[in-house]
Structures are given as structure tokens and as C-alpha cells.
Amino acid sequence: MSTALPVLTEEQKQFFEEQGYLIVKGLFNPEQLAEIEETFEEVSHQTIPGYFEPKLDADTSDPLTRYPRVMHPHRFNETAKRYMLHDPVLAILADLYGEEAYAAQSMFYYKPPGSRGQALHQDNFYLQVEPGNCIAAWTAIDAADEENGGLLVVPKTNDYEIVCPDIADSKESFTTHYVKPPKEEKAMPAIMDKGDVLFFNGNLIHGSYRNKTKDRFRRAFICHYANRSATKISQYYKPLYRSDGSEVILEDNMDGGHCGVEFKNVYPH
């Protein structure tokens, strides 16, 4: 017997429009989470040039040298590609966009104990989806909270323009860019259980805490999407994929944003 795909309520869609984000509970079931966990546990013991390059014999001074994020796992792993195109996620994205979503990127974060967080930033600075915007689907593979490095969101910044970032504090952030939130809004924690998915707009300012625990990972499977009517995206995210796995080629967005040539080839989020 098939299970009906989730459909957002008008209240949920309104919340996303007003706040820029939405948490949908339990979108991945225990069996699906177990498959994702097993897949990336296996990946964690490999070196995959260009996608995952850990120092397998690294010391513990920086846990991210042993467990860096996995970039674009859908390009080398069929399980990652299948869950990037997870039907319940795509159904919600269609509700949020009002049209079909195309998958543009996948990532997996291990975020081991003691690892740095990620400074506040905006995703569409990197993806450069035009016209329209990217939307992230951030899946909690482990429960995520303030102690183990859960996500921070700055509500209502989805209408905030894409801005040129400042330099982040390298002691607290493993990425280099920082976007200061407006004075009237504050970053707040997105508390999530395993299997929950956080959807957020590409302009929303967000980041993450340092993992302050001694024994808890904060694993997450994160994908970015573009609306079907988009015609351009940054070259790094091509090709995109329809729900059936077929490829979509958009034009390259070559302008590098409005921040000048120094940001033209920024390392992607």
C-alpha cells in the first residue's frame, strides 16, 4: 500500500513565505535514515578526489581534517542521488515553488565532536539561481541542537538582498565568509529530531554552532534546488536533475554577483 506524499498546509506555506524557512517533521523514516548512515559511514573511510579528501591518519586538533564535508555525493553514489530526489522532499519543494524543483547540489556533513561551525551566510550568493531562487533541504541524520552544532537561522531575512560577505572568524567557522544580520533580527536555533527536514530560502541568513559535545556527531544530508523556470545557475552546480533522474542544463551565471572580481570564483557553500 503506497503512502500519500506530504502536502503543505496554507499555514505552513505562509510561514515559509514570511519567515524564510520551515521545518517538516519526520520526512525520512528510520529505514531511510539507516541507509543514509550506512552509505556515508562507508564513504568516511575512503578518499574520493574532488569530492571527499579526508586525512585518514589526522590528529584530533581539527576534527574536520578527518571528517570534512562530502561535496556532490550524488555524482559518485547512487544512494545519495536517490535521496537527493526523495519524492516527499520534491513534493514539498513543488508546493513552496509553485512549480517543479530541479536538484542542483548534494552534501553530507559529519560534524564530529569539537568541530567548528559555519559562519552566517546566504546560499544564493553561491548558487546564483536566476530568475527565482534556490531552496535548501537540510535533513537531520542526527538530532541537531545548540550543543552539537545545530543550524542557526535569522528569520525574515528571506527578503534581505544578497550582500557581499565579510571575513569570518576562522577560530569558529570552517568557511571564510560572514554575513552580518540586520539589527532588527537575531539568529535563532533550529532544533531538529532525526529525519526532520529544514527548508529555507536562498537569501535567508543562516549558519551553525560549533559542536561543543565530546561524543555526539551532528550528521546532515543537505541538498539545494532550483525552480523549474530558472534559466541560469553558477557553473559548479551543473547539471541539474529532474525527479526522474534525467539531466537539465541551465545557462552559466557568469557575473559572479555584484561583489566584484574578488568573489568570482568563491568556493561553494
User: Taking a C-beta distance cutoff of 8 angstroms, is the pair 233, 94 a contact?
Assistant: no
112 within a domain of the structure (yes/no):
yes
Residue 243: inside a domain: yes
In a domain, 160, yes or no: yes
The answer to whether residue 2 is domain-embedded is no
pLDDT category at 267 given cuts 50, 70, 90 is very low
Q: Which residue has the cell 541560469?
A: 232
Can you tell me the mean pLDDT for 64-72?
Answer: 96
pLDDT above 80: residue 181: yes
Could you tell me the residue range of the domain that residue 45 belongs to?
10-54+61-263
- Which pLDDT score is estimated for 265? 41
Please calculate the CA angle 162-163-167 and round it to the nearest 5 degrees: 135
The pLDDT confidence band at residue 95, using thresholds 50, 70 and 90, is very high
pLDDT at 7: 83
Percent of the chain topping pLDDT 90: 88
Burial class (CB in 10 A: 0-12, 13-18, 19+), 87: exposed
Residue 168 has pLDDT above 90, yes or no: yes
User: Which residues neighbour 269 within 8 Å (Cβ) at sequence distance 6 or greater?
Assistant: 121, 123, 125, 126, 127, 175
Residue 131 domain flag: yes
The predicted pLDDT at position 57 comes to: 82
Domain at 218, CATH number: 2.60.120.620
Express each pLDDT in 215-260 by its tens digit.
999 999 999 999 999 999 999 999 999 999 999 999 999 765 556 5
Number of domains making up the chain = 1
Rounded Cα gap, residues 182 and 160, in angstroms:
9
Q: Look at the pTM and tell me if it is higher than 0.85.
A: yes
**Distance separating alpha carbons of residues 50 and 52, to the nearest angstrom:** 6
pLDDT(4) > 60: no
Q: What is the mean pLDDT of residues 55-74?
A: 89
**Is 269 part of a structural domain of the chain?**
no
Q: How confident is the model at residue 36 (pLDDT cuts 50, 70, 90)?
A: very high
pLDDT reading at 264 higher than 80: no
Residue 88 lies in a domain: yes
**Average pLDDT of span 45-67:** 90
Q: Is residue 75 situated within a structural domain?
A: yes
